[in-house]
Amino acid sequence: MQPLRGVTVVSLEQAIAAPYASRQLADLGARVIKVERPGVGDFARAYDSRVRGLSSHFVWVNRNKESLTLDIKDPRGMSVLRTLIDDADVFIQNLAPGAAERAGLGAQALRQRDPRLIVCDVSGYGAPGPYETRKAYDLMVQSEAGLVSATGTPEEMAKVGISVSDIAAGMYAYSSVLAALLERGRTGVGTHIDVSMLESTVEWMGFPMYYAYDGAEPPPRAGAAHATIYPYGPFTAGDGKVVMMAIQNEREWKLFCERFLGRAELADHPDYATNTDRNAHRDALGAIVAGRFAELSSDAAIALLSDIPVANARVNSVSEVWEHPQLAARGRWHEVQTPAGPVASPALPGLTDPAPRMDPVPALGEHTRGILAGLGMSGDEIDGLVADGVA
């Protein structure tokens, strides 16, 4: 399923947030032209070299795209970019705050030139506002959004282990572009989408924010356990492996006491009768539950929990996810080419097409000559731009 075939996206992008959004659009069939700096490219290309010499970040968010190198500070490079935008359906950018406007690529100017154009700006904090010009790396935004304060252990806060603020902004940019394309199909008019990492992360902070509504105490940091539901979190089995489990309601709690703990009387104990009671007495209850897990192997504990059934999970390492039996059974792994050879890549969630789009991760400037030729430039003209470092 490639419903965005025929849609052209020009993306002046770097790092994660905007590239993640444009990759989703590319996965659905859009032509995405990724504009990069000549000689250097998207700086995420140099974040690491873990995928056969390529950056893990870059390989993740850049399949299905064409790479065009342009120096847009050179009038010739800017002319090429404007020509591409004139023929595009969507323009995405996540340059430094104010850079797009200074270059004449602000949403108002572009949409005056082409009212059908959908312009999507992705930034750290948005404009206007006192944070408009601040650098907004993922950890900074996690911190400003309150996420770091809600994550970790009682003794030490922690960041989320993935670039969640970048991902949140990328997903809202992606979904907003899809909505704008639908709206344009009805009205014939494009729109301006303004996505900030801060606002995207704050939207995902709904539970802890409302829990602390009107000056109330925020939920405590509880490590890998749930902050306010108990028992809900990790327990170590007798073989040393960690099992996650979760009690969600009183029916599950009663069955858990009977069939897993072997202590039916605990279900109605005044200290544990409701989730509020269990949460208030989690240290004492935790010792009881931990003691039972210590009597069982992880496989036995999971079997007992599954038979009740109570939600449970193994705590996989990142490496083990590559071999996850559920992903294999659903055929989610595919192969994508990169400049360093083929690598495994998961299909876009939700798509059931047995052959999802898995075009290569591009080398820097790999499509420059082809794209410029498609604009009607001669070989000599292209050679001149390349020789001058403009393309």
- Residue ranges of domains in the chain: 8-204+328-387, 232-315
Two domains, one topology: 8-204+328-387 and 232-315: no
Active site annotation includes 166: yes
CATH superfamily of 8-204+328-387: Crotonobetainyl-coa:carnitine coa-transferase; domain 1 (3.40.50.10540)
For the whole prediction, is pTM greater than 0.75? yes
**pLDDT tens figures, 198-216:** 999 999 999 999 999 999 9
pLDDT along the chain (391 residues), means of 10: 94 97 97 97 95 96 97 96 97 93 94 96 94 91 95 94 96 98 97 96 94 91 91 96 95 96 95 95 96 97 96 92 92 94 93 86 97 95 96 96
Pick the catalytic residue from 121, 166, 214, 353: 166
**In three state form, how does the secondary structure of the chain look?**
CCCCCCCEEEEECCCCHHHHHHHHHHHCCCEEEEEECCCCCCHHHHCCCCECCECHHHHHHCCCEEEEECCCCCHHHHHHHHHHHHCCCEEEECCCCCHHHHCCCCHHHHHHHCCCCEEEEEECCCCCCCCCCCCCCHHHHHHHCCCHHHCECCCCECCCCCCHHHHHHHHHHHHHHHHHHHHHHHHCCCCEEEEEHHHHHHHHCHHHHHHCHHHCCCCCCCCCCCCCCCCEEEEECCCCCEEEEECCCHHHHHHHHHHHHCCHHHHHCCCCCCHHHHHHCHHHHHHHHHHHHHCCCHHHHHHHHHHCCCEEEECCCHHHHCCCHHHHHCCCEEEEEECCEEEEEECCCCCCCCCCCCCCCCCCCCCHHHHHHHCCCCHHHHHHHHHCCCC
CATH number assigned to the domain covering 232-315: 3.30.1540.10
pLDDT, one tens digit per residue, over 37-55 is 999 999 999 999 999 999 9
